[in-house]
Amino acid sequence: MSDALTYRAAGVDIDAGNALVERIKPLVKRTFRPEVMGGLGGFGGLFDLGGRYREPVLVSGTDGVGTKLKLAQILGRHDTIGIDLVGMCVNDVLVQGAEPLFFLDYFATGKLDVDTAAAVVGGIARGCELAGCALIGGETAEMPDMYPPGEYDLAGFTVGAVEKSQMLTGEAIVAGDVVLGVASSGPHSNGYSLIRRILDRAGNPFDLDLGGVKLVDALMAPTTIYVKPMLELLGAGSSRIPHPETTIPAIHGMAHITGGGLKENIIRVVPEGLGIALDASSIVLPPVFDWLMREGNVAREEMWRTFNCGVGFTVILPAASVAAASALLATHGLASSAIGQVVAVGAGERVRIG
């Protein structure tokens, strides 16, 4: 019959989906670890914990990339947004001392463009390589009429593991501990609704030179993935990885600086009765944040609670450990410096920036 309907006629192209799977198979395979069982295409991803842990605690995390995704689609920059997706998830589970083991993604669009989807998944695979975790599965959903042409949505999920005895719970944090700020690559994946509003007001000057870097490149720089440096740092202070030449004591706490900025994230890992005092003079805004603050007429306090302001991750540790920790992070190309300390507090505000 001439009026017979098909799934393709309804807007879903199964052949395009199959072509995408074939395109991404070699990218995904590069992320596999020895514990991965099977390959891409099953109903579920398999991962063998085996005898790797004595008392494993699984730590899970899920996230997206916010409206940075909108900017990526406007600019046609699809190859690094997947790194952002991985970074936002794995950096979160890292805070509790967990090693990310595997990752799954969800890609949804109105009409599947194989080239675009392959570029996105390629970024996800690259992010997994940087984090040392396996991309063991995902979902590509083609949903006509749900998304405007050229738009897609993205989400991710990761599972990590840590020995129960080595979990970072924050309980070890004491007054006098130092907050070590570790550099970000830029806004990472937070605050982009405000960023896009500032861009619109400024006339979208994407080619503006910010000290040798175009504004567009500074805004689209992928989220720094801190996993390998931080796991090495944790290993230097525990029994995980022997480092006889180092004397770094156990790390007391970590925080990933995401939505809520410096103002609201670090305190999440600090026990009640303690607070943090951050030294504003020690946090020099990188050019992209300075431009956003000036162009948007954004108050300093709003900057603190919206953006990472150049500090993408923090480590809380004894003062005597700061120099050694900074030196180790520097070997991974990560700049760090003391930005504050843990203090005893009574009633009232637990975070001071001054």
Which of 131, 166, 201 is the last residue in one of the domains? 166
Position 6 in a domain: no
Position 3 in a domain: no
Contact 135, 90 (CB under 8 A): no
pLDDT at 243: 46
How far, in Å, CA of 167 to CA of 152, rounded? 36
Q: What's the pTM value of the predicted model, to 2 decimals?
A: 0.93
Give the number of domains in the chain.
Answer: 2
Write out the chain's pLDDT in tens, 354 residues: 457 787 787 787 888 888 888 888 888 899 999 999 987 777 888 999 888 889 999 999 999 999 999 999 999 999 999 999 999 999 999 999 999 999 999 999 999 999 999 999 999 999 999 999 999 999 999 999 899 988 999 999 999 999 999 999 999 999 999 999 999 999 999 999 999 999 999 999 999 999 999 999 999 999 999 999 999 999 865 544 444 444 555 799 999 999 999 999 999 999 999 999 999 999 999 999 999 999 999 999 999 999 999 999 999 999 999 999 999 999 999 999 999 999 999 877 899 998
Residue 112 shares a structural domain with residue 209: no
Residue 86 shares a structural domain with residue 217: no
Residue 204 shares a structural domain with residue 109: no
Contact 218, 312 (CB under 8 A): no
Residue 90 shares a structural domain with residue 111: yes
Contact 285, 295 (CB under 8 A): no
Q: Where are the beta strands (DSSP E) in 2-68?
A: 36-37, 46-47, 56-63
CATH code of 327's domain: 3.90.650.10
- Provide the 8-state DSSP code for 223: P
Position 41 in a domain: yes
CATH code of 113's domain: 3.30.1330.10
Position 330 in a domain: yes
Residue 342 shares a structural domain with residue 288: yes
Where in the sequence is the domain holding 114, given as residue range(s)?
14-166
Residue 189 shares a structural domain with residue 249: yes
Q: What are phi and psi of 187, to 5 degrees?
A: -70, -5
Residue 193 shares a structural domain with residue 298: yes
For the chain, the first-to-last Cα distance in angstroms comes to: 75
- Provide the 8-state DSSP code for 178: E
Residue 205 shares a structural domain with residue 289: yes
Which of 124, 139, 166 is the last residue in one of the domains? 166
Question: How many other CB atoms are there within 10 angstroms of residue 247's CB atom?
Answer: 11
Beta pairing partners, 255: 314
